[in-house]
Amino acid sequence: MHNQGTNSHAFSLGMLVNTVYTVLEFVAGLLIGSVSLVADALHNLSDVLGLAIAWIADKLTSRHPTKRRTYGLKGGSILAALINAFILLIGMGAIIVEAIGRFAHPAAVQGRDVMIVAGIGIIVNGATALMFMRGRNSDLNRRGAFLHMAADAGVSIAVVIAAGIMSVTGWEWLDPLMSILVAVIVLIATWELLRDAVNLALAAVPRDVDAGEVAQIIRDYPTVKSFHDLHIWAIGTQDTALSVHLTRTTRDNNDEFLAGLSKALEKHCDIDHITIQIECGDYPELSSQDNSY
């Protein structure tokens, strides 16, 4: 499903580069007096923490199963996604409160200096986002890293534009306004990740799996008469499991049938852990009215 070495390299390099930039941006923001830079630095700090948590979770997914944890620690990646989302929500809430206070007492900001620091952020965040582009559709933590870094690059562009306007017009209120914009953009991106992480934690069908397509593959597979108790859930952010009970029109070649159907589901739906139980007797066929696809 994924390359462990590539993941570790991306997370490690991403943490290193963003840690250096976060320190630079935070110090520069304090010296310049820019709340938008400080806000973005705190957001970048949350990204570094998020990358660290995601990196740890990625390591945990490679741990071997035990008698007590038969799936290993793959579920740790879902927990990591939840923790990252909550860190971002809390951090952005604090930034919005601080920015609102700055509207009443705006501080003078050196627009040119802000533009330089934010310009570096465009390069750092953009390059980091590219490292997580591959595999983002199959792993919630990698998708979260990609979206956050891509959003950061976009926000840095907006900060550069606002700083340029401030240097010409002297509109100091643009600085706290930009920090609120940073927070709102991140909150919007975070909400979707939080929703997906909560759904995975509640054993919902992963977003990148089409339950209707899964049902159709099973229904149309040769010799399948009916099926019921179809369940699809995430073991971790990179691993999906399925179980289903079905009846056949024949009892011949069950081993070949199971291998073929499992291969079809794995190929077309990217499901890793498949359990199929063949039963005798007749059951009503599962339909979209029985389960919400």
Any idea of the CA torsion for 221, 227, 231, 235, to the nearest 10 degrees?
-40
First to last CA, the chain: 24
If DSSP codes are grouped into helix, strand and coil, which group holds residue 193? helix
Q: Which domains does the chain have, with CATH numbers?
A: 4-201 (1.20.1510.10), 211-278 (3.30.70.1350)
φ and ψ at residue 275, rounded to 5 degrees: -125, 120
* DSSP assignments along 88-143, one per residue: HHHHHHHHHHHHHHHHHS-----HHHHHHHHHHHHHHHHHHHHHTTTTTTT-HHHH
Residue 194: predicted pLDDT:
86
* Tokens, residue 266: 């794995």
Report the greatest alpha carbon distance in the chain: 81
Residue 276: predicted pLDDT:
95
* 97-116 tens-digit pLDDT: 877 877 776 655 566 777 88
Query: Are 231 and 259 a contacting pair, CB within 8 Å?
Result: no
Q: Are strands 224-234 and 273-278 parallel, antiparallel or unpaired?
A: unpaired
Of 290, 277, 273, the C-alpha closest to 247 is 277
CA distance 134 to 229: 34
Residue 184: predicted pLDDT:
83
* 251-281 tens-digit pLDDT: 888 999 999 999 999 989 889 899 999 987 6
Beta bridge partners of 233: 241
Residue 1: predicted pLDDT:
45
Determine if residue 35 is left, alpha or beta; phi over 0 gives left, psi from -120 to 50 gives alpha, anything else beta.
Answer: alpha
Residue 197: predicted pLDDT:
86
CA distance 259 to 284: 24
Residue 138: predicted pLDDT:
60
pTM of the entire predicted model:
0.67
No. of H helices and E strands in the chain?
A: 8, 3
**Tokens 């793959």 — which residue?**
74
Determine if residue 243 is left, alpha or beta; phi over 0 gives left, psi from -120 to 50 gives alpha, anything else beta.
Answer: beta
CA distance 99 to 176: 5
Residue 26: predicted pLDDT:
85
**Tokens 């390069």 — which residue?**
123
CA distance 2 to 8: 11
CA distance 7 to 11: 6
Per-residue pLDDT of the chain (293 residues; tens, 9 = 90+): 445 545 567 778 888 888 888 888 888 878 877 766 776 777 677 778 777 877 777 777 777 777 887 777 778 778 888 887 787 787 778 778 877 877 776 655 566 777 888 788 888 888 888 887 776 666 677 777 777 777 777 777 777 887 788 778 777 777 778 778 877 877 887 788 788 888 888 888 988 899 999 999 999 999 999 999 999 998 887 789 999 999 999 888 899 999 999 999 998 988 989 999 998 765 555 544 444 33
Q: Lay out the sheet containing 224-234: strands in order across.
A: 224-234, 240-248, 273-278
CA distance 234 to 223: 28
* Tokens, residue 17: 């580069």
CA distance 148 to 50: 10
Residue 223: predicted pLDDT:
93
Residue 257: predicted pLDDT:
94
Residue 242: predicted pLDDT:
95
